[in-house]
Amino acid sequence: QQEDPTSIGKNQTLGKVKKSDGKRLSVERVYQKKTQLEHILLRPDTYIGSVEPLTQQMWVYDEGEGLNCRDVTFVPGLYKIFDEILVNAADNKQRDSTMSCIKITIDPENNTISVWNNGKGIPVVEHKVEKVFVPALIFGQLLTSSNYDDEEKKVTGGRNGYGAKLCNIFSTKFTVETACKEYRKVFKQIWTDNMAKTGEAKIKPFDGIDYTCITFQPDLSKFKMQILDKDIVALMSRRAYDIAGSSKGVKVFLNGTRLTVSEGMRLKIKRSFHI
């Protein structure tokens, strides 16, 4: 189902354009209405934090060095969109206690990151009100969330209805694949060009265990980067260790290798939250 990018955000934002060259601008140029998607791309710091490089001392995980504290240069906004996807996967343990595995792949050469988890998948069923499949609603339409029920106790990370959609918006390609045993279907859909273009949803019969896999190619130009460099990969890798150390009963794999967390490393991870 093709989404009109101009209708993705129903809430419109009125922005003010500055004067230039001392000339008086027309009312139409001074006050411009933007779609929510346009506003997010124009004002990313409001939603994902800074998109400027920042250098500071942080705990990271380097191949060969292991967990260590050093100066790193990274873009907070890029780290944020990665973390949105990873926290979603970890949060699934709260929804399904049988969830037992998270697989993270970081591929700098192809500028591709994926996060896979088993456990209860997203319902592969059409939403009766919105007339789109639930996974498309969750990942491809703004201000949709399962966390709006204030009567329900929340112990998970997401709440504001943006979540993983921010990762979609700041990616050149974003793919959702989720399998749902309850409805016996597997769903796959691809968005491109910062969520502006929506590919056709593909739904197939399915008979197996539930899983969800998010694969994305971050739009590095939005973060003033050319590649996923050593520092951001080291920071993302450390975050994978955070999840491995804090998710009881969940095996966490990074690029095919299971992450084992010793007591000494657990202490380092705890210390890392204070830096």
Mean per-residue pLDDT of the chain: 85
Q: How confident is the model at residue 162, as a pLDDT? A: 80
Per DSSP, 53 falls in state -
Tokens of 35: 């779609």
Q: Model confidence over 71-102: pLDDT tens digits?
A: 999 999 999 999 999 999 999 999 999 999 99
Here the tokens at position 216 are 């994305």
Q: Give the predicted TM-score (pTM) of the model.
A: 0.81
Return the pLDDT at 11: 46
| pLDDT above 70 (res 23) | no
CB-based contacts of 275, cutoff 8 Å, min separation 6: 57, 58, 59, 69
Ramachandran angles phi, psi of 65, nearest 5°: -90, -30
Q: Is beta strand 31-34 parallel, antiparallel or unpaired with respect to 66-74?
A: unpaired
Give the ranges where the chain is alpha helix by DSSP (H). Answer: 27-30, 36-42, 45-48, 76-95, 134-140, 164-169, 230-246, 263-272
SS3 category, 85? helix
Nearest to 142 by CA among 37, 240, 265, 28: 37
Instruction: Please list, in sequence order, all residues whose beta carbon lies within 8 angstroms of the beta carbon of residue 3, skipping any fewer than 6 positions away.
Output: 140, 141, 198
CA dihedral sign of residues 150, 9, 139, 239: negative
Number of H helices, E strands in the chain: 8, 13
Q: What is the pLDDT of residues 161-195, one digit of tens each?
A: 588 999 999 999 999 999 999 999 999 999 999 99
